[in-house]
């Protein structure tokens, strides 16, 4: 068993392996700090030692069973750290002098993401691939309900620090804002709040609470309520809106004004 290749030769070998499709295409760009978890499927290879190539899963106690070494705890380690640990075990055990270990993440099951709030199927979902994005996980949960917001809140940990991001989901597709389609990590939580609403009452055909659509104007809000009754007038509106201090302001809006969350529109009677 030859374990004395020059480092440049070793890198060239693994480059050829990647070009040949030896690594699954969908998992070739695994994040380097991805922590291995229970249930993750791995392919472990040692250069020029095919008898040490195995496919295995991380067990419930975070370990795998590897030839010559027995149980090796890999849970919580990055792929690079796991490669180093197996390499050191083979070297310190006197089996190989300079083992070149490569680990391919075949399938991710050890890490899960919680999807909560206004989605069709809230719950915990496994990260099936290393590059699972926010929109993929929302699709797993059945998408937002009709009463769900367009914004998803993602929380978790990145680089050892708390992480929080608000993502405008429609903008990912409408505005090609692809960079905000976040790659999720194990332990992340995705929360979809209820959509903001406005209220309309008075001389409206259908008074009540309605979802605020994107860039909605007062005229569009009035249309949501079916328009004025025969006794009402679209020219006689009063808008109740809270300011930053919580005080309720009474305004006379223009039909082109934007509607804000929790606005209350009162349709007055016509003066004629």
Residues 81 and 116 in one domain: no
In a domain, 1, yes or no: no
Q: Does an H or E element contain 135, and which?
A: helix 134-140
Average confidence (pLDDT) over 89-111: 89
Residues 117 and 181 in one domain: yes
187 class by beta-carbon count within 10 Å (0-12 exposed, 13-18 middle, 19+ buried): middle
Residue 27: band (very low, low, confident or very high) from pLDDT cuts 50, 70, 90: very low
Residues 176 and 202 in one domain: no
In a domain, 91, yes or no: yes
How many structural domains does the chain have? 3
Among residues 50, 81, 107, which one ends one of the domains?
107
Residue 3 has pLDDT above 70, yes or no: no
Average confidence (pLDDT) over 11-26: 41
Residue 272: band (very low, low, confident or very high) from pLDDT cuts 50, 70, 90: low
Residues 90 and 117 in one domain: no
Q: Which domain holds residue 254?
A: 197-269
Percent of the chain with pLDDT strictly greater than 70: 87
Residue 42 has pLDDT above 70, yes or no: yes
Residues 150 and 122 in one domain: yes
Among residues 142, 169, 192, which one ends one of the domains?
192
Among residues 157, 192, 227, which one ends one of the domains?
192
Residue 6 has pLDDT above 60, yes or no: no
Work out the number of other CB atoms within 10 angstroms of the CB of residue 237. Answer: 25
What whole-number distance in Å separates Cα of residue 62 and Cα of residue 91? 22
pLDDT digits (tens, 9 = 90+) for 169-193: 999 999 888 889 999 988 899 999 9
Residues 103 and 136 in one domain: no
pLDDT digits (tens, 9 = 90+) for 227-265: 999 999 999 999 999 998 989 999 999 999 999 999 999
Residues 92 and 134 in one domain: no
In a domain, 2, yes or no: no
Residue 143 has pLDDT above 80, yes or no: yes
> Tell me, what's the pLDDT at 169?
95
Residues 116 and 71 in one domain: no
Residues 100 and 16 in one domain: yes
CATH code, domain with 43 = 3.30.1950.10
Residue 217: band (very low, low, confident or very high) from pLDDT cuts 50, 70, 90: very high
E-assigned strand segments in the chain: 41-46, 54-57, 63-66, 70-73, 101-107, 112-117, 123-126, 148-158, 161-168, 189-194, 197-202, 208-211, 232-242, 248-251, 264-269
pTM of the model as a whole:
0.62
């Amino acid at each position: 068993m030859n374990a004395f290749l020059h480092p440049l030769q070793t890198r060239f070998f693994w480059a050829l392996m990647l070009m040949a499709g030896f690594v699954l295409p969908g998992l070739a760009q695994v994040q380097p700090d991805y922590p291995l978890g229970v249930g993750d499927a791995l392919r472990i290879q040692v250069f020029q030692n095919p008898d040490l190539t195995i496919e295995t899963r991380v067990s419930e106690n975070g370990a795998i069973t590897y030839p010559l070494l027995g149980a090796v705890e890999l849970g919580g380690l990055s792929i690079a750290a796991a490669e180093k640990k197996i390499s050191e075990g083979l070297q310190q055990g006197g089996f190989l002098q300079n083992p070149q270990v490569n680990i391919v993440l075949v399938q991710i099951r050890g890490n899960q993401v919680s999807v909560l709030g206004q989605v069709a199927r809230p719950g915990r979902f496994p990260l099936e691939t290393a590059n699972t994005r926010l929109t993929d996980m929302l699709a797993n949960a059945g998408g937002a309900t009709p009463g769900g917001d367009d914004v998803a809140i993602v929380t978790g940990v990145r680089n050892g620090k708390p992480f929080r991001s608000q993502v405008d989901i429609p903008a990912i597709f409408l505005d090609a804002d692809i960079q905000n389609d976040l790659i999720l990590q194990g332990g992340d939580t995705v929360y979809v709040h209820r959509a903001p609403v406005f209220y309309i009452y008075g001389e409206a055909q259908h008074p009540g609470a309605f979802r605020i659509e994107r860039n909605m104007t007062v005229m569009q809000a009035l249309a949501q309520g079916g328009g004025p009754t025969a006794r009402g007038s679209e020219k006689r509106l009063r808008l109740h809106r809270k300011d930053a201090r919580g005080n309720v302001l009474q305004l006379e809006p223009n039909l082109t004004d934007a509607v804000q969350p929790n606005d209350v529109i009162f349709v007055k009677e016509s003066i004629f």
